[in-house]
Amino acid sequence: MTDPAPLTDGYGRVHRDLRISLTDHCNLRCSYCMPAEGVAWLARDTLLTPAELMRIVRVGLALGLEEVRLTGGEPLLRPDIVEIVARIAALQTATGAHPEVSMTTNGIGLARLAEPLADAGLTRVNVSLDTLRPDRFAELTRRDRLPDVLAGIEAARAAGLAPIKVNALLMRGVNDDEAVDLVRWAVAEGHELRFIEHMPLDAGHTWRRESMITGAEILAMLRTAFTVEPVPGRGAAPAERYLVDGGPGTVGVIASVTLPFCGACDRLRLTADGQLRNCLFAREESDLRTPLRAGASDEELGSIFTACLARKLPGHGINEPGFLQPQRPMSAIGG
Ligand code: SAM
Ligand code: SF4
């Protein structure tokens, strides 16, 4: 009989969730993520083809993965995104169900793609939006595209992808005065806003602990305008959720740096060039692409998954002396 949970790491964490970066390219240049000139893009011939991607996902599902989140870079820039969603959604987990397929996107292109993506089997979408002010959006992302993002969010709702999670990152002196406005807007629209602490993963290596807006600061800002009470039962979810003014609206705080949730982590990550990572902050990757292209069997690929997990550390170590930021930026690992 096979092990019921082959994707259990050395600390007893069972892994169910695969985050796939479909591309390292992006049509925005959020200052906390990518420099204006972009980054050194991955070489084309290193990118997984859809068939290679399906093979890897299939092996992961057979080992116990149940959820697939597509991200990047900007996943909607992939011309074959609808086909990729449909093909993953049609695969089977170890228990014979279909995997849950979700996406994290900046929302640009969603106005056109939300409906075909929902038809293809996409179940949930997280849209990143850090400001509701057009001039500030243009400054922060270096592109004047706020109307496209808002239209994308509307289209996602119309396509049945609600409730939509909206990810916001506050930068000191840039948009940290918008916490209350963002929550007020999200609650009125029925979206679930989640604030994310800035992590040391930017391509420019400009992250400074002192300039990061902490989860505690965000809650203090929100409490100037609303009552904010914790919702119990977080499970493996990274966001601590709070009822706003008694509900039903909620807000989430993902305090990855100040209150790490590594103990409940159930994620693995696959880069667009076929490298498996056991953590956003991992300093090493496991190459699936080379053995795959050399004709490895499913068993051989599966053993790369389990060996990668066996090396997973108990935590990300950001708060420990000697922490080193990974070589790849967030946009290439997949956020
Ligand atoms: N382009 C898509 C988007 O923006 O949603 C998907 C990729 S993006 C890397 C995924 C998420 O990571 C976004 O919500 C973004 O705000 C967040 N992010 C990017 N850089 C970050 C950093 N250094 N620390 C924390 N979150 C970051
Ligand atoms: Fe692009 Fe997302 Fe990074 Fe912004 S956060 S630059 S949208 S990958």
pLDDT at 83: 97
pLDDT along the chain (335 residues), means of 10: 76 97 96 91 96 98 98 97 98 98 98 98 98 98 98 98 96 96 98 96 87 96 97 79 96 94 94 97 96 98 97 91 86 86
- Spans of all domains in the chain: 17-333
At residue 204, the pLDDT reads 82
Q: End-to-end CA distance of the chain, in Å? A: 36
- Closest-lying ligand 2 atom to the alpha carbon of residue 72: 8
Residue nearest atom 26 of ligand 1, based on CA coordinates: 198
Q: Nearest residue CA, atom 4 of ligand 2? A: 30
pLDDT of residue 231: 93
pLDDT of residue 236: 67
DSSP 146-176: HHHHHHHHHHHHHTT-PSPEEEE--BTTTTG
Ligand 1 neighbourhood includes 71 CB (under 6 angstroms)? yes
Respond yes or no on whether the N-terminal peptide bond of residue 163 is cis (omega within 30° of 0).
yes
| Closest ligand to residue 280's CA | 1
Burial of 50 (0-12, 13-18, 19+ CB in 10 A): middle
Asked if CATH classification 1.10.357.10 holds for the domain at 17-333, the reply, yes or no, is: no
Structure pTM? 0.96
For residue 68 and ligand 1, the question of a CB distance below 6 A is answered with no
DSSP state at residue 84:
H
Chain-centre distance of CA 227, in angstroms?
A: 28
**pLDDT at 3 (0 to 100):** 53
Dihedral of CA 319/320/323/326: which sign? negative
- Which atom of ligand 1 lies at the shortest distance from residue 168's CA? 16
pLDDT the model gives residue 1: 43
Residue 202 has a pLDDT of 86
